[in-house]
A and B are shown apart, each in its own frame.
Chain A
Amino acid sequence: MVNKSFFLKGYRSIFTYDSPAIALTCCFVAIGALFKNLGFNIQESIFSTVLTYALPGSLVMAESMLIGASLLNIFLAVWIVNARLYPMAVSLFPLMMHKSQPKWKYYFSCHFIAVSAWLIMKSNYKKIPKEYRIDYWIGIGSATLSVSVVGTFIGFYFSEYMNKDMMIGLAILNPVYFLCMLIGASKTVQVTLSVLLGIILGPIIYLFSPEWSILLAGVIGGTIAYLVGEYNVS
């Protein structure tokens, strides 16, 4: 089963000074408020946060529902927006694969892949023995998911007490936090260039292809950064 000691170590990462707890809570406060405006009840709002646990996907679902899109359209729109989770999984799970661990742990815990948990794991995996990294990861994922549920709950019940300026203030907090985390993680030529090119190419490609902008910027920017990094090494 899950190693309790490493699980708790991962869970406690949410309480550190550089924890994403504040940013994540504020972000899901905004989502909770949005769900309420859409006509969701509290059970549906929590159900959505727990099952989806990906902010852009939830926003796309909300927008699609507002314009009365079909289920197939919602599926395709969300799948395209959240396709970024594929390279995130491939760039994280090889660091945690260990022959002594059962596969169900990996299949179950891939649900926790989201920007916050991914960045925490990427910054800390070297401190954890490889055999127990998956337990540490499950701890991080459980903690970030718990925070998201609390944020959704607060947003659902307290949104009527918050004015528009407060909601906008909460909404900027999340991208600023993740931008700082990405800059903080830029310690090699490849990562620094990937971040820089992603920031530049994302909005430019959006002007031509809003649906595919994130993926295209990721593939083009990431490939250039990879090639430049390899050229530098050689």
Chain B
Amino acid sequence: MSANIVYAILVTSLATFLSRFLGTITSESIKETSQLFKWFNCLAYATLAALIARTIIFPAGVLIDASYASRLVVVLLSLFVFFISKKNFVYPTIFSAISMGILNSYF
């Protein structure tokens, strides 16, 4: 293994573990019925939603090569599939991959 790559992986995992570990230590002094817990719960859901919205609108990696319009159309159609399939997670997920691949190859 190349030393540079190994160092980069170790640094990345350390930076990632730090937030997880600090969160676990903090949890020891927070009760699940407390207001602080409720606030952190809202924070976590809002942060996740922000991350997902950013991934779709300002993506990194291969998704950056797909147009805004195609990403938006695929997400909206997938949400439509999600609601008409009575909130099934599998159908919209598979639909999104297929429709994205097709849209991207034609537009």
Q: Chain A residues in contact with chain B, CB under 8 A?
A: 17-18, 20, 22-23, 26, 30, 34, 39-41, 43-44, 47-48, 51-54, 56-65, 71, 74-76, 78-79, 82-95, 97, 106-107, 110-111, 113, 115, 118, 164-185, 190-191, 193-203, 205-206, 210, 213-215, 217-223, 225-226, 229-230
Contacts and interface: CB of A to CB of B under 8 A. Distances in A.
Interface of B: 1-2, 5-24, 26-28, 30-32, 35, 37-63, 65-66, 71, 74-75, 78-79, 82, 87-90, 92-94, 96-98, 100-102, 104-105
Given A30-B61, A90-B30, A218-B46, 13 more contacts: A47-B6, A51-B12, A78-B16, A79-B16, A79-B19, A90-B37, A107-B24, A177-B96, A194-B49, A202-B52, A218-B50, A222-B45, A226-B38
Majority secondary structure, B binding face: helix
A87 B40 contact: yes
A48 B47 contact: no
A61 B7 CA distance: 11
A23 B21 CA distance: 26
Contacts of A26: 97
A92 B93 CA distance: 26
Contacts, number: 335
A65 B84 CA distance: 43
Judged by DSSP, the binding face of A is: helix
Given A71-B7, A180-B78, A90 B89 contact: no
Nearest to A76: B15
Contacts of B13: 48, 51-52
Contact of B93 (A176, A196, A205): A176
B79 A52 contact: no
A197 B55 CA distance: 16
